[in-house]
A and B are shown apart, each in its own frame.
Chain A
């Protein structure tokens, strides 16, 4: 395996690992604050217990997210020194701001976790709100850097170096808005559904358990609201990509030919050699309609660019399909949940709906991973869109196999233990017999 491939796999696994914890760091604080808010409003002990358990889960996830995020900030330089040499002075600012958002999250999480008996209820709840705010802001800032890689801005290229640098324009790059909204909603949907899935699973055995019922309602409200909004943000993102990164869109859709009235492909296996995507269900003019809101719009195909400037459409198309499918399922379940909760309360806690929620539990996290495959592999061969190739950015240091194996083992172990701890925390079924819900 070449060093470039090793570096890419290593970076990809760092991100794949970190993003699960980062997403939880954005979503979990919102859940725990809502539970504590419900406790302060109703005085029911079940909500206090829920807030404490969610907070402990947040603590473990946040700790692993914090250290794996630190690893990433260093690995950017260790694996991609040319990239950092070029871009540090252009897009470093959001990282600095993210540092402060992250500080906010850590400080107030410390107060929240260890301060139940030490600060007033109001300060405690506000600390939780600050944790949630810090979590969302750090995500939003970090995504700005990724947006810049997709739509570089704020500099002029001169002799291979960036000059005339405007850090604010770089930070406010065109892709930032749609990516930040998409990622934030994804974090809420993924966390909400993952947590709701766990409690729905338990409720199928212990139908009346108030703890799991309370947890399910809060988690599904957050996850469901985000899942229903996500298609709107997805539409915004797709239309942006269609204009600014048409090659990525072509890879996402398995579109090889440049044509007007391009079809939307569901499924299918892109064949880069023959430049076709067989076995797909094609909806005529669907892609042109979705990407440009015009059924006759021209969609660029992969064939329009030289082979060495094309991403591999196979993983990108597949990951895109997975992401959209997961999102659709979650949005559908969220709609059903809202209807049931509104019209037929008992059916909400009935077995069919609980089964649907449990099955949707992992889909949000799966969609997040798939979405990152789309945006990262879809940008290849560029590390900075049309500015720097990934192969130009990689470190000259050899022997990357060793750290890769080393970190993979560490992360594997950490992942397993973190999951085991969360299972213990979330899967217990404390009972609150005295309270009527």
Chain B
């Protein structure tokens, strides 16, 4: 068992961000998390990686509490709208993340991974402040993938990327999936999720309202996956 979430609830003041979430993600599964803005997706991901520590319920990574240092050894995280430290170079940042994970920079391995993300090697020697948004996102993904952790948690990994970059990143996630990594990531783009995820989890107003395969979601009707998603949302909408 990779990730176990039991009766997870989280309040921000009087606002309930998560309500009694129960979720199990097995080793090697690729699970997509989807919901409207403000549904609680980022809050859920943050509790798994130990950024949020004040919550009710239990979050376990390989049977260890999520805040445990050993649990974090097996996890990588890429936040939403993330920007690496501007004055480091790409190599510096990747090396920083690798060393914190207990590894070392292997330049040829970094170059190989960078190539799969279509991140040019000469760019990695430049300061990050010269990078475009797409390049920073790819660098973040590179830094999340390289430590070779068992579990990779990504918050909106495809956000802000042009169509070409989205294809490249989806291919990279597909490769990770084939390698047996456990992926848990959020996205607003259901068709992208359908391509990479074995399973979809829908969160609405802090509650888990769907957990199943993409084809099971399609059975809710409509021409597209978005139609089915909206049908699920509307049928669970609280007054």
Answer whether A and B are interacting partners.
no
A residues in contact (CB < 8 Å) with B: none
* Residues on B facing A (Cβ under 8 Å): none
